[in-house]
Amino acid sequence: MPALLNADDYRRGARRVLPRGLFEYIDRGTEDELALQRLRSSLDAVTLTPSVLTGHRERALAIRLFDRDLAAPLVIAPTALAGIVAHDGETKLARAAEAVGIPFCVSTQSITTIETIRAGAPDAMLWFQLYVWHDRALTDRLLDRVAAAGCDCLVLTADTAVAPNREYNRRNGFSVPFEPSVRAVVDGLLHPRWLAGVFGRTWWNGGVPTYGHYPDTYRSSVTRPAMADAVRLDGSIDWNDLARLRDRWTGRLIVKGILSVEDALKVAAIGADGIVVSAHGGRNLDCLPSPADCLPAIAQACAGRIAVLADSGVRRGTDVLKYLALGAEAVQVGRLPLWGLAAGGEAGAVAILRLLLREMDTAMGLLGLREPRELTGRAGGQTPAGHGPRP
Ligand SMILES: Cc1cc2nc3c(=O)[nH]c(=O)nc-3n(C[C@H](O)[C@H](O)[C@H](O)COP(=O)(O)O)c2cc1C
């Protein structure tokens, strides 16, 4: 196996292992993939100005976030279906996060349940990402399970009021729960390592892979249609629902998918603890502005009020440092750990996170910095959208 020296090497490894339908589900954006290009090019355009002769022999990436010590300003972002990228993939991601001392945010749409993940990673820092279901009583029961499993933070995803338009999934015959089609079956047969090691194993242990947190009646193709409406994403959620969630959830509450100062301030006024400035990895709405462009104004408006995190498009350690320099306290990574997981299981997920940490450390050394907070004020460059020079 060739040496895996950067995230793109892991991506190529993931492409070899995974069926095309699943690889593209992870990798691609939405519609014409303009949001994906935009968030990458805006990150590429950011520069960081070094200080020379600072004499730091070592760097310290550790931060404190929500009263917890993190080994680095990183969080594994919630990603649906990690459990079909590798068998029990969510538990493997939780352990990988623990190995490098950062939190892992479990998705509502994970294959593995929060209880199973907790049993497999008893000491991991687990967060939980919430999609509010149409049936609010079911959503409340899910929240009780999440609290009982000892999740520190609840992350409400606010940018997915309806299911996004991803044409490639339909072309590839990719769906969850899995619907047999000639294309999907051939795709699986062409990837025997995945077919036996992930699909076959999951099927052997409990049937066709599907969302672990959905009610049992959703698993059977007979009762699923009756259940489908109850677990539909509830597009009617509004600020009153966030206020109610704030009253109900006693832990930390973060809202993910914020791209305007106005919305960020509303989140702060409701008493939530943080936001994630995010374009959902370019997967939802193709005309979104890039988080790198929106972040400085949002971070400035929220300073001292709520924690500001960011995500979308991180492929290098320098991308993390750029988000930090633009005002984020911590940065989420979505696709990277999935590529590691696909290419090398739990060890692959650990390896790609360590690679990212090494890249961050090297760049910090070259910038002459010791701690992440020293990145403040170092971002420059010109946005491709022509928004003018950064501060
Ligand atoms: C395969 C995949 C599944 C995702 N599923 C979810 C999800 O269930 N809930 C959510 O809030 N975000 C989801 N996201 C978005 C991520 O949380 C995150 O915003 C995004 O991946 C960050 O961009 P990056 O992948 O370029 O790091 C998903 C992203 C990917 C790639």
Q: Which residues contact 151 (CB under 8 A, 6 or more apart)?
A: 106, 114, 126, 127, 128, 251
pLDDT of residue 228: 84
pLDDT of residue 175: 86
pLDDT of residue 391: 44
58 Cα to the center of ligand 1, angstroms: 33
* Number of residues that make up the chain: 391
What fold does the segment set 7-168+229-372 form as a domain? TIM Barrel (3.20.20)
pLDDT of residue 136: 93
Is the minimum distance from the CB of 334 to ligand 1 under 6 angstroms?
A: yes
55 Cα to the center of ligand 1, angstroms: 39
300 Cα to the center of ligand 1, angstroms: 25
| In contact, 46 and 385? CB cutoff 8 Å | no
278 Cα to the center of ligand 1, angstroms: 9
Query: In this structure, how many other beta carbons lie within 10 angstroms of the beta carbon of residue 237?
Result: 18
* Active-site position among 191, 213, 280, 387: 280
85 Cα to the center of ligand 1, angstroms: 14
Is the minimum distance from the CB of 278 to ligand 1 under 6 angstroms?
A: yes
Is the minimum distance from the CB of 103 to ligand 1 under 6 angstroms?
A: no
* CA 131 vs CA 14, 28, 105, 220, 283: distances in Å: 27, 21, 13, 22, 16
Q: Which of 210, 277, 280 to mutate to test the pocket of ligand 1 (most atoms within 8 A of CB)?
A: 280
Is the minimum distance from the CB of 80 to ligand 1 under 6 angstroms?
A: yes
Terminal-to-terminal C-alpha distance of the chain: 44
Query: In this structure, how many other beta carbons lie within 10 angstroms of the beta carbon of residue 162?
Result: 9
pLDDT of residue 384: 46
Which of 119, 144, 116 shows the shortest CA–CA distance to 130? 144
Is the minimum distance from the CB of 314 to ligand 1 under 6 angstroms?
A: yes
pLDDT of residue 177: 78
234 Cα to the center of ligand 1, angstroms: 18
| In contact, 308 and 330? CB cutoff 8 Å | no
Please state whether 257 falls in left (phi above 0), alpha (psi between -120 and 50) or beta. left
Indicate which residue's Cα is closest to atom 20 of ligand 1: 281
Q: Which of 11, 104, 210, 283 to mutate to test the pocket of ligand 1 (most atoms within 8 A of CB)?
A: 283
Is the minimum distance from the CB of 11 to ligand 1 under 6 angstroms?
A: no
54 Cα to the center of ligand 1, angstroms: 37
Which of 176, 239, 255, 238 shows the shortest CA–CA distance to 209? 176
Is the minimum distance from the CB of 311 to ligand 1 under 6 angstroms?
A: yes
The reply to whether 280 belongs to the active site is yes
Q: Which atom of ligand 1 is nearest to the CA of 26?
A: 1
Q: Which atom of ligand 1 is nearest to the CA of 82?
A: 1
pTM above 0.85, yes or no: yes
Is the minimum distance from the CB of 213 to ligand 1 under 6 angstroms?
A: no
* Residue ranges for the chain with pLDDT beneath 50: 384-389, 391
Chain-centre distance for alpha carbon 237: 21
Chain-centre distance for alpha carbon 306: 20
Is the minimum distance from the CB of 26 to ligand 1 under 6 angstroms?
A: yes
pLDDT of residue 326: 97
Is the minimum distance from the CB of 312 to ligand 1 under 6 angstroms?
A: yes
Is the minimum distance from the CB of 78 to ligand 1 under 6 angstroms?
A: yes
227 Cα to the center of ligand 1, angstroms: 25
CA distance 172 to 184: 7
